[in-house]
Structure 1
């Protein structure tokens, strides 16, 4: 009965599904790059400049908002209407870097065309230099994390044959999850106007950590079962290990996901992009640890991966 559902035998189906999901995300990033010059809708944390978030007490036309910035000497401001039940008559405007005096003058002019909701106005400004440093730090952090995990798994799993494969498959599953949330960021940027900011970097590193943790739990059980059952077929050992650890993985992730759903439903609008990306990332991490990392390991063991055949 334990092997009634042989998950690893359906590995080609999982690979096709992951390829479709990642492919759609890559297409979204390409489309975003054509439209905005970036694979995501970048916030001021990454591209530099100023960002206004204002909410009026009454409806205001986009042309009226644009006119305020044009009169202040700012050409082609990016204006996005914010959506949500608590975001009636709310707008987000992105411009080049402004001085505090210029930002205050614009805020006063916006208040003149219609009263602003008290305490709703947010103005952020980041220089281009700081934005470049944040982008470089994000890239380096992800690369270093992948290398550290690869070496760590090779050392810990040195008792089993081919320990490098375990580390490489764990990192591959992490990259899979990162591409999933990159695609989500590109799609939500085009549809909802959600920007990628510093919180997105936090979500990326959190998803990477959860993904690797889940994968290592399954791999560790595979290592134990290989030692206990040296004569058992490799696919059967792997499938046994999945079934023995899946309940732990699901219990851990579902608890976090329930909290995130509550925040998405009842939390503030400013944190929803971060929580949405984190939710999708944890969902992808739970999937990839079982349906990407482990099947990839089996496919490598069976010499089914092009260019990696023994």
Structure 2
């Protein structure tokens, strides 16, 4: 049977993954994540002025109104995104009036306020969602692969898939830590949605490979487990790549034409889909091979 010896280079795959993950982990330790008001609580005010303004001047005018602004992010067309402690609509109106005296007509494009209690609760639930999803994936895959012949164990298939998807989560979170430090990109509720979507996609891709391994085990009794995995990856590689490419093309279109609101959500999905495709083939399968061979 013709197949490419994927598992022969498993340590090379692990080394490449390590090189990708380490910068993100270092960034997380040093800089953490730049959290939006969804998590920290506060007010997000987006305005458009008639004439250009300097962020420092906006902060000074707000300070005169007893409004503490954390950051001002300018955009084209004299649009400014103000992130501050929680303020009321009345305080926002007063600030716009003062800005209008200096920079002409001020148009409010967005006003969002999130309390600190809700922000803390969302943070806890986000972590819980990822943990619960991982646990249920292990349980589901262990049940789905219960027909795996002895001496192989079904729960190792599930655990290997979860380790691979955790790699994808770390890659995305680490890269966004770098984005937050260098490009001031904030993590919001949409980012958590992207992470959970990435988890689902990564597991789906891994299941395609693992299911073929399960089917080939009784068909290839004279072959080593490593050879069976190599053959299974060879059989499913085109399907995995084609599926991922269609998703990547769709997301690229959204990135180009979808607008500012969902830009970083789409970027997170793109990074996660590419990482998920890689890890399902070059991380999940080698982890399973090492684990099963260790107990032979």
For the superposition of Structure 1 and Structure 2, which TM-score range results when normalised by the shorter chain? over 0.9
2:238 to 222, 244, 247: 247
Match of residue 9 from structure 1: 8
Which of 131, 134, 140 matches 1:152? 140
Which residue of the partner structure matches residue 92 of structure 1? 81
2:92 matched residue in structure 1 = 103
Q: How does 1:192-203 map to 2 (within 5 A)?
A: 192-203=183-194
Other structure's SS at 2:97 match? helix
Say how many residue pairs are matched.
Answer: 293
CA contact under 8 A between 1:54 and 1:116: conserved in structure 2?
A: no
The SS at the match of 1:73 is coil
Q: 1:256 & 1:111 partners in 2: Cα distance?
A: 45
Alignment partner, residue 156 of structure 2: 165
CA deviation map 1:128-172 (0-9, x unaligned)? 111111111111111111111101111111222121211110000
The 5 A counterparts of 1:1-310 are 2-3=2-3, 5-32=4-31, 39-75=32-68, 77-82=70-75, 87-115=76-104, 118=107, 121-160=109-148, 161-303=152-294
Moved over 4 A (4+): none
Please provide the CA RMSD for this pair. 1.8
TM-score scaled to structure 2, two decimals?
A: 0.93
Deviations, residues 219-264 of structure 1 (Å, cap 9, x unaligned): 0000000021111121111011111111111111111111111121
Deviation at 1:76, TM superposition (A): 5.4
Q: Distance in 2 between matches of 1:56 and 1:291?
A: 51
Distance 1:117 1:271, change over 3 A: farther
Q: Distance between the aligned counterparts of 1:216 and 1:147, measured in 2? A: 16
Distance, in Å, in 1 between the alignment partners of 2:72 and 2:22 is 29
Alpha-carbon displacement from aligned partner over 1:184-233 (angstroms, at most 9, x marks no partner): 21112122222111101110110000011111111000000002111112
Deviating more after overlay: 278-287 vs 73-82? 73-82
Partner-residue secondary structure (3-state), 2:73: strand
Change (3 A) 1:115 1:247: farther
Query: Which residues of structure 1 form unaligned runs of 5+?
Result: 33-38, 304-308
Indicate the SS of the match to 1:158: coil
Residues 69-111 of structure 1, C-alpha deviation per residue, up to 9 Å, x if partnerless?
Answer: 11111345322334xxxx3433322111111211222233333
Deviation at 1:267, TM superposition (A): 2.2
Q: Does structure 2 conserve the Cα–Cα contact (< 8 Å) formed by 1:249 and 1:286?
A: yes
Change (3 A) 1:187 1:55: farther
Please say if residues 64 and 113 of structure 1, whose CA atoms lie closer than 8 Å, have aligned partners that are also in contact: no
Distance 2:177 2:116 in 1: 22
Gaps of 5+ in 2: none
